[in-house]
């Protein structure tokens, strides 16, 4: 009996869908859409609950070169001249104020000697003028006493008016002479100042013939020999001021914002992994440069932008100036 009832039920269902095939298709589509929506919701839930991946770098790399903190300076002369003496050679340590190169200076020396001779002569003239003035003042004091005595006697009718007038004239004449000599001494002193200024100018011209070190440092190169002609617009050597050793490097704009002063860093040769020297970032440029800082030509076009960074190395670092290295900056220690 039960089997008959089941067969009858399925027969009715079969007959229903046979008569309504479109309804069957619609129900199937609704079921498929519901199943896809459920799976999508589960995936979104799983995606939202999954932990975020940490993509921030721990190190930043850049190309650089070794330089002193005060940078490598070009040696130039303030004036033209022929090299007559070379006092230091490349590699020598030069003290501050030490003469590196001397140029021909015979004319400048003669001008200094001439100015010095004028000053000495003027000193003698001032000395003589002061001596004459001192003698005149003594004579004037005697004339004053004579005049005062003549005046007293004249007032007592004991002296002729002629003698009184003569003493008065003599005394007043000497007073005017004192004023004249004092003016002469002042003029001579002013002329001395002019001669001294001329001497300073001549000495300055002479000093320009000596190329001196402005600070302690090391002479790196000299492109001249005895007899070479030096002109102001053309450098003739390089000089490294005494200062901490640094790595001057460039960081690509992609990671430039990650770098800050104080971060630990080290340098290594290109293509190696061994650290040559350790240090810290001492300077990070405030802007991105349009051109690579290692481009040798002014007109070179550079598509990328870089940030200038300086790494001050530890005092025991021993690297050649100008060495090309790779800088590794540790963002997280």
CA dist., res. 183 & res. 136, Å (int): 14
pLDDT in tens, 50-70: 444 455 688 999 999 999 999
- Mean pLDDT for all residues in the chain: 85
User: Tokens standing for 286?
Assistant: 């405030």
Q: Is pLDDT at 244 greater than 60 in this prediction? A: yes
What's the CA dihedral at 191, 197, 201, 207 to 10 degrees?
130
- Whether the per-residue pLDDT at 152 is higher than 70: the answer is yes
Which run of H or E residues covers position 23? helix 21-49
For the four alpha carbons of 308, 314, 320 and 323, in that order, the dihedral sign comes to negative
- Predicted confidence at residue 332, as pLDDT, reads 80
Strands of the sheet containing 81-86, edge to edge, are 210-212, 99-103, 81-86, 229-230
pLDDT band for position 48 (50/70/90)?
very low
The per-residue pLDDT for range 261-310, each reduced to its tens digit, is 999 999 999 889 999 999 999 999 999 987 666 665 555 555 678 999 99
Full-prediction pTM beyond 0.75?
no
């Amino acid at each position: 009996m039960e089997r008959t009832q089941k067969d009858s039920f399925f027969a009715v269902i079969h007959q229903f869908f046979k008569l309504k095939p479109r309804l069957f298709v619609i129900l199937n589509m609704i079921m498929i859409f519901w199943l896809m929506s459920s799976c999508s919701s589960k995936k979104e839930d799983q995606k939202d609950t999954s932990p975020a991946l940490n993509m921030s770098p721990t190190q930043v790399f850049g190309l650089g070169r070794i330089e002193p903190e005060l940078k490598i300076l070009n040696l130039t002369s303030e004036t033209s001249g022929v090299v007559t003496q070379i006092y230091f050679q490349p590699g020598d340590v030069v003290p501050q104020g030490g003469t590196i190169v001397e140029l021909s200076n015979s004319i400048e020396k003669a001008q200094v000697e001439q100015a010095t001779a004028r000053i000495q002569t003027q000193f003698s003239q001032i000395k003589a003028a002061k001596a004459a003035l001192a003698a005149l003042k003594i004579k004037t004091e005697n004339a004053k006493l004579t005049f005062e005595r003549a005046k007293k006697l004249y007032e007592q009718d004991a002296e002729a008016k002629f003698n009184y007038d003569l003493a008065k004239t003599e005394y007043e004449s000497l007073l005017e002479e004192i004023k004249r000599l004092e003016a002469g001494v002042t003029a001579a002193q002013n002329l001395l100042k002019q001669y001294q200024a001329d001497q300073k100018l001549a000495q300055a011209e002479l000093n320009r013939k000596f190329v001196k070190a402005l600070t302690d440092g090391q002479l790196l190169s000299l492109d001249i020999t005895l007899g070479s002609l030096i002109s102001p617009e053309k450098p003739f050597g390089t000089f490294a001021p005494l200062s901490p050793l640094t790595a001057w490097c460039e960081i690509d704009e992609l990671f430039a914002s990650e770098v800050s002063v104080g971060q630990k860093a080290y340098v290594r040769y290109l293509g190696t992994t061994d650290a040559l020297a350790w240090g810290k970032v001492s300077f990070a440029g405030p802007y991105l440069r349009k051109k690579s800082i290692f481009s040798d030509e002014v007109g070179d076009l550079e598509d990328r932008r870089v940030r200038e960074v300086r790494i001050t190395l530890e005092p025991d670092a021993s690297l050649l100036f100008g060495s090309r290295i790779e800088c590794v900056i540790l963002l997280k220690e």
